Amino acid sequence: MNTSDLEKAKQALKLKNVHLAEEILLALIVSDAKNSEAHFLLGQIYHETGKFEKAIVEYKKALGGKPHYTDAAVSLSVLYNDLGRYEEARMIFNRAKNQIKTSDPIEDPYINECLAVKHIELGDQYLMYKRFHEALDEYEKALKLTPINMQIVIKIARLHEAEGALLEAVAILKKLKVGHPEFIPGLIQLGLSYYAQGRMLDAISEWERVLDMDPHNKDAMTYLEMVHQAQVTTL
């Protein structure tokens, strides 16, 4: 492996010089065809530039030289999912998960984040087709991998709302508020959940709390104006 060339390619990517990075990597795999990291980086370049078939080829070559290359497996799975090739995405993703389970139990935050993103994407797909149970299962898996990702909690609350379980949604968001009282998106969503229940004063209270912390928050201002207009209309 020509470590020097690989580092040059990485540096070029950091500087957003994609063309130079591609040239270096293409030259590198001529002399070292089984360099999995070089193939992976090429895959990322092609993925980001919309050359999806080339990206698939490079990700597969990366995995061919290094079957337990989790980054390559996750990236390939995400690409398949973006292309609507869901079964292939699921197979690659499950293989990546199993590799992590059977390897040394090392917690890697980057890998956890990649896997969580995949679970969220799958959850969103299930939710689109109103398959609430499967969607919730995926969101909970994502939250287990990245407990600090409070946006996942909001997704779970919205899912319960979509099911008509408004009380459950409010309970989840109130718990989030207790743990993270200054998390503005959570307060905004709690206000919306109150609004959906007809609890206007509680909704107003949450949105005014947001404006106390962020006087220019557009969401809070929009929702407060919405409530004001509704009150004027009913007079």
Q: Give 2: exposed, middle or buried? Use CB within 10 Å, 0-12, 13-18, 19+.
A: middle
- Find the length of the chain: 235
Are 160 and 197 contacting, i.e. CB atoms less than 8 angstroms apart? Answer: no
pLDDT digits (tens, 9 = 90+) for 105-146: 445 676 778 788 888 988 998 999 899 999 999 999 999 989
**pLDDT at site 118:** 84
- Token match 């949604």: residue? 169
Token pair listed for 2: 């020509």
Distance CA 187, CA 98 (A): 37
Check: pTM over 0.75? Answer yes or no: no
pLDDT of 95 higher than 80? no
The full 3-state SS of 98-142, as one line of letters, equals HHHHHCCCCCCHHHHHHHHHHHHHHHHHHHHCCCHHHHHHHHHHH
Task: At 217, give phi and psi (nearest 5°).
Answer: -65, 115
User: Following CA atoms 99, 101, 102, 104 in sequence, which dihedral angle do they give, to the nearest 10 degrees?
Assistant: 110
Handedness of CA 108, 111, 115, 120 (dihedral sign): positive
pLDDT digits (tens, 9 = 90+) for 40-88: 999 989 988 889 999 999 999 999 888 888 888 888 888 887 788 888 8
Q: First and final CA of the chain: distance in angstroms?
A: 76
User: Following CA atoms 82, 85, 88, 91 in sequence, which dihedral angle do they give, to the nearest 10 degrees?
Assistant: 60
